[in-house]
Amino acid sequence: MCGIVGYLGREKASDIIIAGLEKLEYRGYDSCGICFYDERAKRFVMYKDKGRVAHLKNDFDYDKCNGLGIGHTRWATHGQPNQLNSHPHFSEGDRFAVVHNGVIENYKELTERYLAGVQFVSETDTEVIANLIARFALQMPAEEAIRKTLSVLEGSYALLVVDTLDPHVLYAAKNKSPLLLGVGKRGVTLASDVMALVGYADQYFPIEDKTFTVVSEKDGVSCFALYDILGHPVETKFMTIDIVLDEIGKGGYSHYMLKEICEQPSVVRKIVSKYLPEDRIQIDPETLSWFKTAERIYVIAAGTSMHAGFVGKYLLENIAGIPVEVFIASEFAYNPPLLVKNPLFVFISQSGETADLRACLVDVKRRGFRTVTITNVPTSTLAREADKFLEIFAGPEIAVASTKAYVGQIVILAILAVALADRPPFDLHKELAKVAVAMEAVIDKREFIHGLVKAKITKRNCFYIGRSLDYFTCLEAALKLKEISYIQTEGFAAGELKHGTIALIEQGVPVVAIISQKAVARHTRGNIREVCARGAEKLVIATQLVSDPTDELILMDVHESLTPLITIIPTQLIAFYAALDIGKDIDKPRNLAKSVTVE
Ligand code: M6R
C-alpha cells in the first residue's frame, strides 16, 4: 500500500517520478504528491493533492525541475485522504521532506518523547519521521540524524528523504515495506516495485530490511552506498530487469482487468512450459520432499489467494493424499491453531508483500518451521524470506482485482499435487492444454456473457451458489463482483443457503449457480429450483458433462479436478461487465490497493 519513487541523476526527475507513480498507482490512489529541486529558483518545490496521478501530471508546472525528486501515491492509513495528509511531508521549518510507505507503530510515543512543541500540520505518522530527523539534525549531520531516527522507529517503512540544504543527495531506508534501487546510464531510481524502474534502470536490487542508502552525485554521475543501521557498509547483488514496457501496458484493451482475463490461457501455457517442460514435472526435489514428509500443510493466504488455497487443499488432499488446512493470514497471526509436530507452511500471495502473511511468516520461521512461498513476484519480500519459493509466471498483474495470478496459483498447486501423488491420476500436461483451450472458448463468448449480465445482474445484491470445488469458485466469483462493481455479493455452499440466507431471496435477485462436479450436480440443481420458486433470477454456468439445456452458459469439459480454472473465467467477465455497465473504476476500485502492506 502506497507507492514511492525517488530519482537522482541527469534526467528531469519529475518525468521519471510521475511515470513511476502512474505504474505504482495500483498500490494506492487516494492522493499523491511530489517534491523536487527547482533549478532556477534554487529551492525545493512540492505539489500534492487528493486524487490521482493524472492530476499531478497535468495540473502543475515542472519546467524547472532538475535531477532530484521524490514522489508518493497514497492509500490512507493515518488520516483522511486530503491535501494535508498527502505525502511528501516536511519537517517543521521545511528542512527535510519525506515520503513513506508503511506504518510507524510507536509514532505517539516518539512524539511525546522527542517532539514536544512541534506544530504538526497533518494527521500522519510520516510527519513524525520528518520531524525526528530535523530534531536530531540540530546536533549532528543529516546522514547521522536519519540513522538515529531509524534506530527509534518501530513498524514498517520504505522511506525517501531529501535535505533541502543539499540538493545533490537522496536518502532511503527500509524495513518490512518493499524498496528497490535501480541503476541506469543516467541516474539512480528508487521505487516500491520494479515496474517503476522499467525504462530507467538496467539493473536493480531489492534493499534489505534495516538498510540505509545514500544516493549522491559526483562529477555529474550518480552513485550510491548502502549501510546497516550502525553505519557499516553492506554488499549487494544486482539483478537484471526482465520486464519489457509492453508487458505493463494495456496492449490495446480498454482495461488492465480485461487484458489480464484474456491472458489466462497463455499464463497456463507459460506455467506448463516452466514446470512441465517435455512433459516432466520440474520442481526443486527438496521442496517436493518437504511436502511429502510434512504431517500437515498449513496454507496461509488472504482474499483471492486464499480462495486459490481452498482449491489447492482439495487438489493436495484428493490427488496427493496430504492433509491441508487453509488459514486467513490475519487470523492465523493472532489466533493460531494447535499445530502438528512436523508442519509445512505454504504462503500463497500474488504480490508477495501482504503484511498479514509476512507477520505469520516471521513468526513460523522464528519457531523453526519450514516455509514455502507461491507468488507472482520473485523479488517480493515473501519470496525472499521463505525458505523456498515457487514462481507463478503470470506476468505483471496490474488491475487490483486479481484474475490471472489466481489461475496461476491454482495451476501451480495442481502441478504440486500431481508431482506428489504416488500414481498421477491423469496426464497433467494434456489436461492443462485442454484447460487453456476451454478458457479461450469462454473468453471468445465474452460479448454473450455481457448480454447475460445486462439481462440478469440488475439488482444491488447477488448470490453465487455451488458445491464442493464449485463452492470455492463461488467465493472467488463473489469477491470479484463485489470488489469492482460494489454489488453486494455472497458466495455460498449451495446446501447452506436454506439454513438462513435464503430469507434474502426475493423477486429478481440474481443467483448464479456453478455446476461442474458430477457427484453434487443434482443437489445444486435442487437448490436452484428452491431459489427460483422464491423469485430468484437464475444464471447457471455448467460444464458440458453436467449441463442441462436450460443452462445459460455451458463450458467445455476439462478434468473434474481442474474445473475451477474454467468456471472462474465467466465469473470474472460477469464482474467486469457489471462494473463497466454501471461506470465503475474497474482497475482501481474504491478503498482498495493491490499490495496490502499494512496489517
Ligand atoms: O497479494 P496477495 O495475493 O497476497 O493479496 C491478498 C489479497 O489482498 C488479494 O488476493 C485480493 O483479495 C485481490 N486483489 C482481490 O481481487
For cell 495500483, what's the residue? 26
Helix, strand, coil tally for the chain in percent (to 5) = 40, 25, 35
Q: Which tens digit of pLDDT belongs to each residue from 430-483?
A: 999 999 999 999 999 999 999 999 999 999 999 999 999 999 999 999 999 999
Kindly state the cell numbers that stand for 390: 515457487
Task: Give the Cα separation of 346 and 331 in Å (integer).
Answer: 15
Residue 599, pLDDT above cutoff 80: no
Query: Please, what's the largest Cα pairwise distance for the chain?
Result: 80
pLDDT band at 29 (very low <50, low <70, confident <90, very high): confident
Res 27: pLDDT: 87
DSSP state of 155: B
**H or E stretch at 179:** none
Distance 588 CA to ligand 1 centre (A): 13
Is the shortest distance between the CB of 302 and ligand 1 below 6 Å? Answer: yes
In ligand 1, which atom is closest to the CA atom of 480? 16
pLDDT band at 90 (very low <50, low <70, confident <90, very high): very high
Q: For atom 11 of ligand 1, which residue has the closest CA?
A: 303
Average confidence (pLDDT) over 106-122: 95
Alpha helices in 428-563 (DSSP H): 428-444, 446-456, 469-485, 518-532
Distance 400 CA to ligand 1 centre (A): 8
Residue 251 zone, left/alpha/beta (φ > 0; ψ -120 to 50; rest): left
Q: Which tens digit of pLDDT belongs to each residue from 188-200?
A: 999 999 989 999 9
Residue 13, pLDDT above cutoff 80: yes
Q: What is the mean pLDDT of the chain?
A: 94
Is the shortest distance between the CB of 354 and ligand 1 below 6 Å? Answer: yes
Residue 597, pLDDT above cutoff 80: no
Cα angle 589, 595, 599 (rounded to 5 degrees) comes to 105
Distance 150 CA to ligand 1 centre (A): 30
pLDDT band at 418 (very low <50, low <70, confident <90, very high): very high
Residue 404, pLDDT above cutoff 90: yes
Is the shortest distance between the CB of 21 and ligand 1 below 6 Å? Answer: no
The preferred substitution site among 310, 568, 596 for testing ligand 1, maximizing ligand atoms within 8 Å of CB, is 596
Q: Which tens digit of pLDDT belongs to each residue from 538-554?
A: 999 999 999 999 999 99
Is the shortest distance between the CB of 349 and ligand 1 below 6 Å? Answer: yes
Angle between helices 428-444 and 564-581 (to 10 degrees): 20
Distance 303 CA to ligand 1 centre (A): 5
Query: Who contacts 381 (Cβ-Cβ below 8 Å, separation ≥6)?
Result: 176, 178, 352, 353, 358
Res 458: pLDDT: 93
Residue 595, pLDDT above cutoff 80: no
| Radius of gyration of the CA atoms of the chain, in A | 25
Angle between helices 564-581 and 404-420 (to 10 degrees): 170
Is the shortest distance between the CB of 309 and ligand 1 below 6 Å? Answer: no
Is the shortest distance between the CB of 524 and ligand 1 below 6 Å? Answer: no
3-class SS of residue 15: helix
Alpha helices in 231-332 (DSSP H): 256-262, 264-275, 285-293, 303-320, 329-332
Distance 226 CA to ligand 1 centre (A): 32
Residue 586, pLDDT above cutoff 90: yes
The preferred substitution site among 326, 346, 354 for testing ligand 1, maximizing ligand atoms within 8 Å of CB, is 354
Q: Which tens digit of pLDDT belongs to each residue from 30-74?
A: 899 999 999 888 999 999 999 899 999 988 889 888 999 999 999
Kindly state the cell numbers that stand for 309: 488455497
Res 511: pLDDT: 97
Res 331: pLDDT: 94
Task: Give the Cα separation of 447 and 435 in Å (integer).
Answer: 21
Active-site amino acid positions: 2, 594
The preferred substitution site among 192, 256, 304 for testing ligand 1, maximizing ligand atoms within 8 Å of CB, is 304
Q: For atom 12 of ligand 1, which residue has the closest CA?
A: 303
DSSP 37-63: EETTTTEEEEEEEES-HHHHHHSS--T
Task: Give the Cα separation of 268 and 440 in Å (integer).
Answer: 11
Task: Give the Cα separation of 222 and 224 in Å (integer).
Answer: 7
Q: What percent of the chain has a predicted confidence (pLDDT) above 70?
A: 100
Kind of pairing between the strands at 239-240 and 203-206: antiparallel
Distance 572 CA to ligand 1 centre (A): 15
Task: Give the Cα separation of 476 and 406 in Å (integer).
Answer: 9
Q: Single out the residue of 162, 182, 2 nearest to residue 86, CA to CA.
A: 2
Q: Which tens digit of pLDDT belongs to each residue from 235-286?
A: 999 999 877 777 788 888 999 999 999 999 999 999 999 999 987 899 999 9
Residue 537, pLDDT above cutoff 90: yes
Q: How far is CA 130 from CA 43, 105, 229, 370, in A?
A: 18, 15, 18, 39
Q: Single out the residue of 145, 442, 433, 425 nearest to residue 270, CA to CA.
A: 433
Q: For atom 8 of ligand 1, which residue has the closest CA?
A: 303
Residue 591, pLDDT above cutoff 90: no
In ligand 1, which atom is closest to the CA atom of 592? 14
Angle between helices 428-444 and 404-420 (to 10 degrees): 160
3-class SS of residue 440: helix
**Complete domains list, the chain, with CATH:** 3-247 (3.60.20.10), 251-425 (3.40.50.10490), 443-583 (3.40.50.10490)
CB 483 within 8 A of CB 462: no
DSSP state of 104: B
Query: Who contacts 439 (Cβ-Cβ below 8 Å, separation ≥6)?
Result: 264, 265, 268, 565, 566, 569
Res 31: pLDDT: 93
Q: Which tens digit of pLDDT belongs to each residue from 201-221?
A: 999 999 999 999 999 998 888
Is the shortest distance between the CB of 510 and ligand 1 below 6 Å? Answer: no
Strands (E), 357-415: 370-375, 388-391
Q: Which tens digit of pLDDT belongs to each residue from 299-308?
A: 999 999 999 9
Q: For atom 4 of ligand 1, which residue has the closest CA?
A: 349
Highest mean pLDDT, choosing among 379-383, 461-465, 496-500? 461-465
Distance 328 CA to ligand 1 centre (A): 12
pLDDT band at 76 (very low <50, low <70, confident <90, very high): confident
The amino acid at residue 74 is R
Task: Give the Cα separation of 166 and 163 in Å (integer).
Answer: 6
Q: Which tens digit of pLDDT belongs to each residue from 507-528?
A: 999 999 999 999 999 999 999 9
Distance 350 CA to ligand 1 centre (A): 6
Q: Single out the residue of 436, 458, 456 nearest to residue 551, CA to CA.
A: 456
The amino acid at residue 413 is L
CB 293 within 8 A of CB 322: no
Is the shortest distance between the CB of 303 and ligand 1 below 6 Å? Answer: yes
For cell 481452498, what's the residue? 310
Res 123: pLDDT: 93
CA 73 remoteness from chain centre: 15
Residue 181, pLDDT above cutoff 80: yes
* Torsions phi, psi for 533 (to 5 deg): -60, -20
Is the shortest distance between the CB of 579 and ligand 1 below 6 Å? Answer: no
User: Residue 46 forms beta bridges with which residues?
Assistant: 35
3-class SS of residue 211: strand
